[in-house]
C-alpha cells in the first residue's frame, strides 16, 4: 500500500515545494486600472459598440420594416419552465426560504440569449415553490419588463433574494440601461422589487437602491470599453435582522461595492451599506461607507445579522500594489449607522485574480476575468451553545503563498464576535493539490448546523468534470462530516458556457436550510452541450451514509411525490404528475448510483397523474434511491426498505 502511494506522495511534496517558490501577487498602477475597468466590463452583456455608438443601433431600428418585432435590449421572459424545457442557459443562482412558511422557497438566476442587434438579451427568470420543492411555478417577474419599450438592457446581473420575518420577499439585481428616447442616456442601477405572495408577483420599488447616469469611453475593439464618469455599483448582498431583542428588528441591510470615476490613472472603490426600515418601501438614500482609506481596491461583500441585531460584514481589500489581497471584517451595533474599524481575517493567494492579461487557463469553464475569491460569511443565531459564532469561506490556492496548483475552499471561524479568527483550514477533504474546488456557499440553520457547498473536480484527473459537494458541522464549526457529492452526474466545464456567450455558471450558488434539511441550489450543465439548468437537492442534516433524500432539476413541467409508505417492506406507491405528454421512467438505484431495476417505462406517457406501484418485498433491507426521468428533467427520492 505504501509503495503504491509513494509516487503520489513524492509528487505532492515536489508540487508543494514548487508552489511555495511562486511570487506573491503584485499589481502595478496600470494593472489596477485594468482591474477596475474589468469590474465594470464584466457587467456588460451587449456588444461594446452598442454602448459606445448607440446611434448606430438606433439607425438599425429605423431600418426594420413596419410590422416586424423590434429586437430591443429589453429581455424577454423565457419559455415556461427551466433550461431543460427552454434550451437556454440559466446561471448565477440565488435562493431564499420563507421563515414564516418553510414550504415557500424562491430561486432566481440570470438568462442570457443571443440578440441579432445587441449580441445578448438579458433577463432574470424567477421560480417559487409552496410545497417544499414538490412543484415549482415560474413567476411573472423577469427583472426587465418594468422598463420602457425603447430602453436597451446593456448588462447587469447578481440577483439576490431575502425574506422578512412575515414572509415578504425582496429581490435586488443590477442593470445597465440605455434610453433611446432620452438622448441615449446610460444608467447603471441597483433595483429592488417586493413580493407579498411567495414570489408569484412582484412590485417595483419607487426608486433604485443606488446608481445613476454613467459615461463610457474606449475604442470598442476587443471589448475595449471603460467608465469615464459617474459611478457603478456591483456585487450586492442583503441580510435581514430577525432578532427579538434588537431595536432594529426588521431592518434589511444591503452591502455592495461602488466604483466611481475610473480613468487610466485613477481608481475609486468604496464598500457601502444601506438599510431599509420596516415601515419603508425603499432603502435609505444615504449610504454608510466602510472605513478603508488605505486601500486601492475593495470588493466582494458578504453580510449577515446575529440574534442581537449586530450587523456583520466581510469584504476583500487590496491595500497596495505589492500586497496580497486580504479578507476584512467589520460590524455595526447601531443598526448600520456606523461600522467598526475593519480588521483582517486572512490574506489569500488566488492565481488569476485581478490579473486580466495572463495567458494561462485558470479554471476551465470560468472566464478568467471572473476569477473571484467568492467569500461568504454567516452567523449562528440559533440561541444554542455556539450562538454568535461567525463562519467564513472563500476559494484560494494558499494564504500568504501558493501551496497548490488547484484551488481549494478555505474556512475560518470566530467564536468571540470577530475579535479573533481561527487559523484558516482547507475545507474540502480530498487532499488533491491539482484539481479545483471553487465558488463556495455557506449557511447556518436554526439549530446552529453549519453547511458549506462548492463545485468540485476531485473525481476527474483532467480537472474538467465537475460535481457539487457538501459538508456540514453540528459542533459549531469545530469539525465537519466527510464531504460528499450531491450530484449523481458531473458537468464537463469545457462545454459549460457555449450557450450563454462564454459567461458560464456565474459566481453564485446558494444553500437554504430548515431545522432538518439543507437545500443547495446550483447551476448544472450535465448535458455537456452548453445547457445550464437550475438544480436543487434536499439533504438530511444527520450523520448518515446517504444524506441525499431528494435531488433533481427545478422544473414547472413535472412533479414527484414522496414514496408511500416509507420505510416499506412490501408494496410502494410513487405519484408522478406530468403537465404535458412525456416519456416517463422509474428506476431503482443503489446509494452509489448503480441501476438495480427498471420499475416503470413509458415512452409516451399522458399528461396527468401517474400512480406507480411496485414491490420491495424481495429487496435486502437498506437505503435505495428512486430515479424518475422525464423529457423535462429528473428527480430522485430516497426509499428505506425494512425487514
Q: What phi and psi, each to the nearest 5 degrees, are found at residue 479?
A: -150, 160
Last residue of a domain, one of 520, 546, 572: 546
Work out the angle at residue 224's Cα, subtended by the Cα atoms of residues 219 and 225, and round it to the nearest 5 degrees: 85
The tally of CA atoms less than 13 A away on the side-chain side of residue 22 is 22
Mean pLDDT of 220-240: 76
The answer as to whether 265 is a domain residue is yes
What is the rounded CA–CA span in Å between residue 378 and residue 393? Answer: 9
Mean pLDDT of 300-320: 95
- pLDDT of the residue at 495: 86
What is the rounded CA–CA span in Å between residue 370 and residue 496? Answer: 14
Residue 141 contacts residue 124 (beta carbons within 8 Å): yes
Residue-number span of the structural domain to which 56 is assigned: 25-347
Q: What phi and psi, each to the nearest 5 degrees, are found at residue 70?
A: -90, 120
pLDDT at 509 over 50: yes
What is the rounded CA–CA span in Å between residue 347 and residue 327? Answer: 6
Last residue of a domain, one of 526, 546, 566: 546
- Identify each DSSP E strand in 164-292 by its residue range: 169-179, 185-195, 203-204, 210-217, 226-240, 252-260, 269-276, 288-289
Reduced DSSP (H G I as helix, E B as strand, rest coil) percent helix, strand, coil of the chain, to 5: 10, 45, 50
Q: What phi and psi, each to the nearest 5 degrees, are found at residue 457?
A: -115, 20
**Site of grid cell 420543492:** 133
Residue 199 contacts residue 104 (beta carbons within 8 Å): yes
SS (H, E, C) 523-582: EECCCCCCCCEEEEEEEECCCCCCCEEEEEECCCCEEECCCECCCECCEEEEEEEECCCE
Hey, how many other C-beta atoms are within 10 angstroms of the C-beta on 64? 12
Q: What is the DSSP letter of 368?
A: G
pLDDT at 539 over 60: yes
- pLDDT of the residue at 389: 98
Burial class (CB in 10 A: 0-12, 13-18, 19+), 4: exposed
Output the CA–CA distances (angstroms, integers) from residue 203 to 89, 142, 144, 288, in the order listed: 26, 12, 12, 26
Residue 467 contacts residue 485 (beta carbons within 8 Å): yes
Strand order in the sheet with 517-524: 510-513, 517-524, 533-540, 548-553, 633-641, 622-630, 582-589, 595-605
Strand partners, 316: 299, 327
Direct distance between the N- and C-terminal alpha carbons of the chain, in angstroms, rounded to an integer: 38
Tell me: the pLDDT tens digits for 144-155? 999 988 888 888
Residue 96 shares a structural domain with residue 163? yes
Parallel/antiparallel/unpaired status of strands 151-163 and 169-179: antiparallel
Averaged pLDDT of the chain? 83
pLDDT at 460 over 70: yes
pLDDT at 514 over 90: yes
Q: Please report, for the domain that includes residue 496, its CATH number.
A: 2.120.10.10
Residue 334 shares a structural domain with residue 227? yes
pLDDT at 9 over 90: no
What is the rounded CA–CA span in Å between residue 178 and residue 156? Answer: 12
Residue 465 shares a structural domain with residue 403? yes
Residue 593 shares a structural domain with residue 634? yes
Residue 103 shares a structural domain with residue 161? yes
Residue length, the chain?
A: 643
The answer as to whether 491 is a domain residue is yes
Burial class (CB in 10 A: 0-12, 13-18, 19+), 167: middle
- pLDDT of the residue at 1: 33
Q: Please report, for the domain that includes residue 633, its CATH number.
A: 2.60.40.1930
Residue 212 contacts residue 230 (beta carbons within 8 Å): yes
Mean pLDDT of 526-546: 78
The tally of CA atoms less than 13 A away on the side-chain side of residue 490 is 18
pLDDT at 211 over 70: yes
pTM for the whole structure: 0.81
Number of domains in the chain: 3
Last residue of a domain, one of 517, 546, 575: 546
**Site of grid cell 500568504:** 400
What is the rounded CA–CA span in Å between residue 499 and residue 497? Answer: 6
Residue 332 shares a structural domain with residue 477? no
Residue 194 contacts residue 106 (beta carbons within 8 Å): no
Q: Please report, for the domain that includes residue 137, its CATH number.
A: 2.120.10
Mean pLDDT of 512-527: 91
Residue 476 contacts residue 448 (beta carbons within 8 Å): yes
Cβ density class 559-569: b for 16+ within 10 Å, e for less:
bbbbbeebebe
The answer as to whether 498 is a domain residue is yes
What is the rounded CA–CA span in Å between residue 172 and residue 157? Answer: 9
Which of 634, 637, 638 has the alpha carbon at shortest distance from 82? 634
Which of 278, 204, 268, 196 has the alpha carbon at shortest distance from 234? 268
- pLDDT of the residue at 178: 86
Question: Residue 276 CA to chain centroid, in angstroms?
Answer: 23
What is the rounded CA–CA span in Å between residue 137 and residue 343? Answer: 44
Residue 324 shares a structural domain with residue 240? yes
**Site of grid cell 492565481:** 351
Residue 123 shares a structural domain with residue 264? yes
The answer as to whether 601 is a domain residue is yes
The answer as to whether 15 is a domain residue is no
The answer as to whether 8 is a domain residue is no
Residue 486 shares a structural domain with residue 631? no
Residue 433 shares a structural domain with residue 537? yes
Local confidence band at 223 (pLDDT 50, 70, 90 cut-offs): low
Instruction: Dig out the grid coordinates for 263 from the structure.
Output: 480613468
Cis peptide bond upstream of 565, omega within 30:
yes
Mean pLDDT of 96-111: 96
Burial class (CB in 10 A: 0-12, 13-18, 19+), 260: middle
The answer as to whether 281 is a domain residue is yes
Local confidence band at 399 (pLDDT 50, 70, 90 cut-offs): very high
Mean pLDDT of 369-391: 94
Residue 507 contacts residue 236 (beta carbons within 8 Å): no
Sign of CA dihedral 48, 504, 172, 448: negative
pLDDT at 519 over 70: yes
Instruction: Dig out the grid coordinates for 151 from the structure.
Output: 430602453
What is the rounded CA–CA span in Å between residue 485 and residue 460? Answer: 13
Residue 252 contacts residue 170 (beta carbons within 8 Å): yes
Work out the angle at residue 434's Cα, subtended by the Cα atoms of residues 430 and 438, and round it to the nearest 5 degrees: 70
Instruction: Dig out the grid coordinates for 592 from the structure.
Output: 452509489
Residue 616 shares a structural domain with residue 498? no
The answer as to whether 20 is a domain residue is no
Residue 592 shares a structural domain with residue 444? no
Amino acid at each position: 500500500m505504501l509503495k503504491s502511494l509513494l509516487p503520489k506522495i513524492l509528487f505532492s511534496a515536489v508540487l508543494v515545494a514548487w508552489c511555495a517558490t511562486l511570487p506573491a501577487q503584485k499589481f502595478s498602477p496600470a494593472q489596477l486600472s485594468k482591474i477596475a475597468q474589468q469590474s465594470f466590463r464584466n457587467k456588460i452583456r451587449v456588444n461594446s459598440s452598442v454602448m459606445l455608438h448607440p446611434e448606430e443601433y438606433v439607425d438599425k431600428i429605423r431600418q426594420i420594416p413596419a410590422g416586424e418585432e423590434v429586437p430591443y435590449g429589453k429581455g424577454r421572459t423565457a419559455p415556461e419552465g427551466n433550461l431543460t424545457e427552454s434550451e437556454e442557459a440559466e446561471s448565477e443562482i440565488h435562493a431564499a426560504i420563507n421563515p414564516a412558511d418553510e414550504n415557500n422557497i424562491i430561486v432566481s438566476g440570470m438568462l442570457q440569449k443571443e440578440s441579432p442587434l445587441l449580441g445578448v438579451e438579458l433577463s432574470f427568470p424567477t421560480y417559487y415553490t409552496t410545497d417544499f420543492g414538490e412543484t415549482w411555478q415560474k413567476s411573472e417577474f423577469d427583472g426587465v419588463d418594468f422598463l420602457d419599450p425603447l430602453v436597451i438592457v446593456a448588462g447587469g446581473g447578481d440577483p439576490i433574494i431575502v425574506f422578512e420575518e412575515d414572509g415578504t420577499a425582496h429581490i435586488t439585481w443590477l442593470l445597465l440601461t440605455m434610453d433611446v428616447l432620452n438622448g441615449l442616456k446610460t444608467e447603471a442601477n441597483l433595483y429592488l422589487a417586493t413580493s407579498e405572495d411567495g414570489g408569484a408577483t412582484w412590485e417595483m420599488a419607487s426608486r433604485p437602491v443606488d446608481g445613476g447616469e454613467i459615461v463610457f469611453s474606449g475604442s470598442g475593439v476587443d471589448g475595449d470599453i471603460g467608465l469615464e464618469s459617474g459611478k457603478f455599483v456591483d456585487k450586492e448582498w442583503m441580510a435581514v435582522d430577525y432578532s427579538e431583542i434588537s431595536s432594529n428588528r426588521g431592518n434589511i441591510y444591503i452591502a455592495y461595492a461602488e466604483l466611481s470615476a475610473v480613468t487610466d490613472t485613477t481608481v475609486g472603490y468604496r464598500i457601502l451599506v444601506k438599510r431599509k426600515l420596516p415601515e419603508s418601501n425603499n432603502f435609505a438614500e444615504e449610504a454608510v461607507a466602510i472605513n478603508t482609506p488605505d486601500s486601492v481596491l475593495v470588493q466582494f461583500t458578504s453580510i449577515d445579522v446575529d440574534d442581537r441585531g449586530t450587523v456583520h460584514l466581510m469584504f476583500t481589500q487590496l491595500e497596495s500594489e505589492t500586497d496580497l489581497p486580504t479578507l476584512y471584517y467589520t460590524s455595526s451595533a447601531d443598526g448600520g449607522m456606523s461600522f467598526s474599524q475593519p480588521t483582517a481575517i486572512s490574506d489569500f493567494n488566488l492565481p488569476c485574480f485581478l490579473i486580466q492579461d495572463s495567458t494561462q487557463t485558470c479554471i476551465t469553464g470560468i472566464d478568467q476575468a471572473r476569477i473571484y475569491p467568492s467569500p461568504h460569511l454567516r452567523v449562528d443565531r440559533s440561541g444554542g451553545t455556539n450562538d454568535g459564532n461567525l463562519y467564513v469561506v472563500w476559494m484560494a490556492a494558499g494564504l500568504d503563498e501558493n501551496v497548490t496548483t488547484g484551488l481549494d475552499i478555505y474556512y475560518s471561524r470566530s467564536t468571540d464576535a470577530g475579535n479573533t479568527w481561527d487559523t484558516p483550514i482547507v475545507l474540502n477533504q480530498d487532499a488533491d493539490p491539482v484539481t479545483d474546488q471553487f465558488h463556495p456557499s455557506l449557511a447556518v440553520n436554526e439549530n446552529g448546523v453549519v453547511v458549506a457547498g462548492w463545485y468540485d473536480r476531485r473525481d476527474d484527473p483532467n480537472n474538467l468534470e465537475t460535481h457539487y459537494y457538501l459538508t456540514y458541522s453540528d459542533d459549531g464549526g469545530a469539525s465537519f462530516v466527510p464531504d460528499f457529492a450531491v450530484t449523481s452526474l458531473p458537468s464537463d466545464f469545457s462545454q459549460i458556457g457555449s450557450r450563454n456567450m462564454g459567461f458560464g455558471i456565474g459566481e453564485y450558488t446558494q444553500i437554504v436550510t430548515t431545522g432538518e434539511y439543507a437545500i443547495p441550489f446550483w447551476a448544472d450543465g450535465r448535458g455537456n452541450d452548453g445547457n445550464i439548468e437550475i438544480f436543487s437537492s434536499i439533504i438530511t442534516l444527520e450523520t448518515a451514509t446517504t444524506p441525499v433524500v431528494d435531488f433533481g432539476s427545478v422544473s414547472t413541467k413535472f412533479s414527484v411525490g414522496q414514496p408511500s409508505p416509507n420505510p416499506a417492506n412490501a408494496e410502494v406507491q410513487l405519484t408522478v404528475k406530468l403537465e404535458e405528454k412525456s416519456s416517463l421512467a422509474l428506476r431503482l438505484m443503489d446509494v452509489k448510483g448503480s441501476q438495480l431495476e427498471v420499475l416503470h417505462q413509458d415512452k409516451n406517457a399522458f399528461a396527468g397523474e401517474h400512480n406507480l406501484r411496485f414491490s420491495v418485498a424481495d429487496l435486502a433491507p437498506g437505503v435505495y434511491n428512486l430515479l424518475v426521468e422525464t423529457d423535462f428533467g429528473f428527480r430522485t427520492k430516497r426509499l428505506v426498505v425494512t425487514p
